[in-house]
Amino acid sequence: MMFSLDNRLALCAGFVRENSSLADIGTDHAYLPVWLALNHKIKSAVACDIRPLPLKNAQNNIDLYGVGDIVSTVLSDGLDKISPECADDIVIAGMGGELISKIISRTLWLRDENKRLILQPMTRADSLRLFLCQNGFKIINEKPCISLGKSYSVMSVAFDGIIRQCDDIFKYTGLLQFDDSIESKKYISVINSKLKKKLNAFEKDSYEFKNLLELTKKLDSLSKEDEP
């Protein structure tokens, strides 16, 4: 018995290292760890959620697909109940960037260059990128996808202790600014549309207006599709 992941979770799965121990935070139905177990990509996984009902749904899927020898469930607020020995790769997907930042900030054992974070913020990716740069985490890779008509970005991240500058372009686009794919341009275009709506909140002669206007112009150039 097999199933397919949507584009968003498939992109997360693609960043998980072969034969790693996985922690899937906010697992919901445990689709990601179950799929990885069925495809022999991981040696073990803990599927974590803060709520009992989603965790029950996760356990039902683990039982349905017969991967209970590889995937277990843990009721946990973020990584609070997970020990560092349980996870080499940590997926935190399907929640806001600010919440992801809080989970990382209070989990000190993630400050280990051998750990790999796979992060998929649903909102406030800009806040997450800024947090990573200011706290010694490097975005190693970042890829976009379109799933169910919406644009998402998935980041592969590791701690190296280096504090990085994070300008506005990087904050809003990350490594996608260097990717000429249609998916990246779509992602940047969506972000830019939201920023343009904020222009109305400022006086046209204010520093904030001019700064934001300049940013949206730069993002316009990054999101412009190449001429055929």
Is the separation of the CB atoms in 17 and 156 below 8 Å?
Answer: no
Give the closest residue to 33 by CA, choosing from 67, 1, 64: 67
Edge-to-edge strand list for the sheet holding 71-75: 71-75, 42-49, 20-25, 89-95, 116-121, 150-159, 137-147
In CATH, 7-165 is 3.40.50.150 = yes
Q: Give the pLDDT confidence score for residue 36 in this predicted structure.
A: 98
pTM score, two decimals? Answer: 0.94
Binned at pLDDT 50, 70 and 90, residue 226 comes out as low
Q: What average pLDDT is seen over the chain?
A: 95
Structural domain spans, the chain: 7-165, 167-228
Q: Give the pLDDT confidence score for residue 16 in this predicted structure.
A: 98
Q: Give the pLDDT confidence score for residue 2 in this predicted structure.
A: 73
Q: Is the torsion defined by CA of 134, 28, 191, 17 positive or negative?
A: positive
Q: Give the pLDDT confidence score for residue 227 in this predicted structure.
A: 46
Average confidence (pLDDT) over 189-199: 94
In the chain, the percentage of residues whose pLDDT exceeds 70 is 98
Average confidence (pLDDT) over 96-111: 98
Q: Give the pLDDT confidence score for residue 200 in this predicted structure.
A: 87
Is the separation of the CB atoms in 31 and 96 below 8 Å?
Answer: no
For 10-46, write each residue's pLDDT tens digit: 999 999 999 999 999 999 899 999 999 999 999 999 9
Give the closest residue to 50 by CA, choosing from 27, 23, 83: 27
Is the separation of the CB atoms in 195 and 212 below 8 Å?
Answer: yes
Is the separation of the CB atoms in 49 and 28 below 8 Å?
Answer: yes
Distance CA 73, CA 55 (A): 7
